[in-house]
Amino acid sequence: MRFPPFEAPSHNPEEMEFADVCWPMRDKDYNLKLGDEKGWFIHRSICDGKPHDVTEVLLTSGDNETQKLLSSREGWALSPHPLHSFARKWIPYGVVILILAIFLHVLEPVLLKWGLMSDAWAGSINLGLLDYPILFVMASPFIVIPLFFRLVANVEDVRRQHRFKKNPPGSPIIKIYSADAMGPIKFSFRIPECLKDREVSGYVRVGLLPPHRDALMSALVDGEKERPPVGLSTPLPKGWMPVADDGSGIGETTPMVVGKGPARLFQEPMRIQESSTPKLIISGEKVELDTPEGPWPSSEYGPFVNVNWELILEFNGRNNRPLYWIERLSVKSSSDSTTIDTLVAHTGRLESV
């Protein structure tokens, strides 16, 4: 397998290491071929004996690790402040402008001599005890403004999380009638009275959650003190690493999160995921939703392979940002093997998805 790190679009899959392991067969294991070996992939084959040149691992991670992985992917979820996305789109332009200012400052004497630059653009400005090139001062707002927007968005998101936790709406009552990988997903639901004025859309999402860090490290390196492969951080002191984090996005997740596990109100997107087309649904009626294009395998959780199915209810109001309810689905499949030709990786940044 080769699982994408937190910022997958900035990595070339073929330049990253892949894990090649084997473990004793479990009753629920079946043949799996998701993705191509030139990109992101998970391939599993059932065999009679241990293959040659393959690392054998003992699956020490139990149900407790799986529950930690799933604890932040259920219940209510908030949408990030729009300024997060705006600031992220602005940052590349600010970097380009700053690089251009540096380039022009280096060539400033030549440009002045040839008459290609006005004296008003050359020289420095005295601010305090230091002199700063005029071009740098002019470029600085394009760097500072995105950081200011990010600060405002984070403050507002933290305040919104506290307000929501003080007075959360009741949980929707959901009854699942049928959940098969080939679809449709059949269910009925009733929403809280305080959300009756909101329009509700529903869709099904399936994806791959990250493998457990201890299992992945045992497959990729020889010892605990070995240097982690590209995309993974070095070990952090106990308690510093977020619950169920694989160590590929330390310090990068935005917006700022309040709480852990079920109390976490921003759900980090699955880096490999597919969703069905959203459909307007009505409380109290029996609903059928198509499954994402695949075919995807059934629900499965373990140290390496975590196939996660979710039912998403999206509540939209006129003057409110979308509010989501995430219901984890236990989806079955009649097939004993699954093949998907290509896996498309997304960033783990919520504001970019």
In the chain, where are the structural domains located?
Answer: 8-84+162-352, 85-161
The string of pLDDT tens digits covering residues 69-122 is 787 788 999 999 999 988 988 888 989 999 998 888 888 888 888 888 887 778
> Counting every residue, how long is the chain?
353
pLDDT for the residue numbered 72: 75
What's the CA gap between 318 and 305, in Å, rounded?
A: 40
pLDDT for the residue numbered 254: 67
Using alpha carbons only, what angle is made at residue 146 by residues 246 and 268, rounded to the nearest 5 degrees? 25
Q: Which residues contact 179 (CB under 8 A, 6 or more apart)?
A: 185, 186, 309, 329, 330, 331, 332
Cα-flanking dihedrals φ and ψ of residue 13, to 5°? -55, -40
Q: What is the DSSP letter of 328?
A: E
The string of pLDDT tens digits covering residues 295-318 is 899 999 888 899 999 999 999 987
Tokens of 101: 């200012």
Give this prediction's pTM. 0.85
**Are the CB atoms for 276 and 292 separated by under 8 Å?**
yes
**Are the CB atoms for 173 and 284 separated by under 8 Å?**
no
The DSSP line for 20-86 is -EE----TT--EEEES-TTSSBEEE---SSPPTT-EE------HHHHHHHHTTSSEEEEPPPHHHHH
Cα-flanking dihedrals φ and ψ of residue 113, to 5°? -65, -40
Q: What confidence tier does 52 reach under pLDDT thresholds 50, 70, 90?
A: confident
